[in-house]
């Protein structure tokens, strides 16, 4: 008997304890996306995260890490390019803030972590923290 594993349910389990999707706060125009596509990969010594955050300047993206908890926040700003004699008739662009938090299976070594933002994709390389043995056997006198 062959058992099929649904990969999406594995990631659902990974994120189930945290609010799913991004918090969406539309300010103007169309509503912000209700979720940002995020890929999480366990690459042995590192977790690799790819988050689609198009239309954002890298200065407006913030990543916070606390143990195994990862939080991504971004501010999408709309740049007005109209003058006094112009008015917007239709706009499908949006702006506002989005954020997402999730917990990884193991703590992250923040000192060796790296982030890069290119072509609308945030790429995080998060090395796993080396687990030091906290258990030791005591000698009985």
Q: What is the pLDDT of residue 25?
A: 42
In angstroms, rounded to a whole number, what is the distance separating the alpha carbons of residues 98 and 18? 15
In angstroms, rounded to a whole number, what is the distance separating the alpha carbons of residues 49 and 57? 18
From the CB of residue 93, how many other CB atoms can be counted at a distance below 10 Å?
12
What's the average model confidence in pLDDT over 131-139? Answer: 67
Residue ranges of domains in the chain, CATH in brackets = 7-78+92-127 (2.60.40.790)
pLDDT at 111 over 80: yes
What DSSP state is assigned to residue 130?
A: P
What's the average model confidence in pLDDT over 22-47? Answer: 68
Q: What is the pLDDT of residue 139?
A: 73
Lateral strand order in the sheet of 69-76: 25-29, 94-103, 69-76, 61-66
Structure tokens that stand for 56 in this block = 């954002």
Q: What is the pLDDT of residue 33?
A: 59
Q: What is the pLDDT of residue 35?
A: 57
- Predicted structure pTM score: 0.66
Answer with the residue of higher pLDDT: 95 or 18.
95
Q: Sorting pLDDT into bands at 50, 70 and 90, what band is 104?
A: very high
Q: H or E segment at 14?
A: helix 7-15
């Amino acid at each position: 008997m062959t058992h099929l594993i649904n990969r999406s349910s594995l990631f659902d389990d990974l994120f189930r304890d945290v609010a799913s999707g991004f918090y969406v706060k539309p300010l103007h125009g169309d509503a912000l996306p209700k979720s940002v596509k995020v890929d999480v990969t366990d690459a042995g010594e590192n977790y690799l995260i790819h988050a689609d955050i198009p239309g954002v300047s890298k200065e407006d993206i913030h990543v916070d890490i606390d143990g195994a908890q990862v939080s991504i926040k971004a501010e999408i700003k709309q740049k007005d390019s109209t003058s006094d004699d112009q008015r917007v008739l239709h706009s499908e662009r949006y702006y506002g803030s989005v954020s997402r938090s999730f917990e990884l299976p193991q703590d992250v070594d923040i000192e060796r972590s790296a982030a890069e933002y290119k072509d609308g994709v945030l790429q995080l390389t998060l090395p796993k923290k080396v687990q030091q043995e906290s258990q030791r056997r005591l000698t009985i006198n």
